[in-house]
Structure 1
Amino acid sequence: MTRRPTQLLLATLVLTVTVGGCSNQNHTEAPPPSGSPPAPPTTQGQFTLPPVSPITPTSANAAPTGIPPAVAPPQVDAAPFNDPLRVTTAWMRQFCQTDFMEPINENLSRAATYATPAATAADITRGDTTQSYQQMQQQKLATRCDQVEASINPEAPATPSMVYVQVSAARTQLADGRPFQRLPLASTRRVVRGGDGRWLVDSAVDAG
């Protein structure tokens, strides 16, 4: 018995569908040829984040929900210099913020507005080196700070022209504009009153 062309066409379609369905269910990709290079590692935004230890969320270092705004440059305003706490807070806002697009140790140059020359010189000796600054630029690192607080240490000696101030901030670390870690920053500073009546941040008395 000779099949009609329509019957032959239907039989061919049925066979094609059946074979194709089985092929999809049992398909496995062949392993890459010997000597083929491995797939490149996945990076975020074409850069590799610096290694960071996992953070256990607490009230002090909980993961940031947003990025603090960039701090404004120092202003020629006499108000902060009239009070040791205000001048230390203004100093910390400049000291705490860094950016890979700024010159090396620019945060210390900005903070110098509120500090003694001796304190600024000491901070620069402990600041970024050429090597660490190059790494900062390569990884596009920056920091932003908020929750800046200052208080006079009641247990430290104090005079009308010298007090010890404890200052702290929450520092958000960024890589290429994206936050990846939030850490506390704290320091105790001697704050002195000069002959012109202005309070200035002086030397650190801890490693903060």
Structure 2
Amino acid sequence: MSSHPFRAHPFRAEAPAQALPVIGADSEGLYVLPVISAARYSGLMAEALLAFKDHERTGLLRPLAAGLSRALEEAAATVLEPGPALLVTPPPSLRSVLRRGRHPLGELVAALTLPPGMVLEQQLLQRSDGPRAVLGRGQKARSAAARRRSTELTLTAQARHSIDGTQVLLVDDVLTTGATLAAMYAPLAASGAEVRGAAVLAAAPRPPQDDALAAQQ
């Protein structure tokens, strides 16, 4: 079970994620934040991550961390510039902590094997969760607009004067619409950080209706 989801080489996964931030433009079009994923969020990968996050199958931590570590290696080679880089993760929502009683992403990133020059920093971003966030529907069931509203993030006090000009790679477990990565990108980029891209453990496949539309064009 541990090896199957990661047989393929890490891949660029940003195309189906419509909420990712636009980071540039030229005569050929707009460019969104590049995202490297270790696996597709389907089949065995989806089952393994769900078991780890929601059913406390902590024995899956090592293979999942190994997969995300591979995505970091690929990001270091293809997305980052030479030199040191901060790895920034989203802070957990109050709703998820209350529901699970733990922080699975924090456990996952703590077990990563980091490429040379990368430093994990989990204290740069913060969020405000109100009662509606705690009692509301799960992230997967909400619209992209609702996800963006629920994932608004700001810099912590310690980050406001320490990240100008710093190279940053965003890290998360699953890429769906890209709303979480967009929420992370906004305050970091506004404060002068050089956000180069993101690495995720798994990326949701393109919706079937998107494939049908692409085939017609």
In terms of fraction of residues, the more helix-rich structure is 2
Who wins on radius of gyration, i.e. which is larger? 1
The TM-score bracket by the shorter chain reads under 0.3
Bigger relative CO (Cα 8 Å, ≥ 6 apart): 2
Q: TM-score, normalised by structure 1?
A: 0.23
Q: TM-score, normalised by structure 2?
A: 0.22
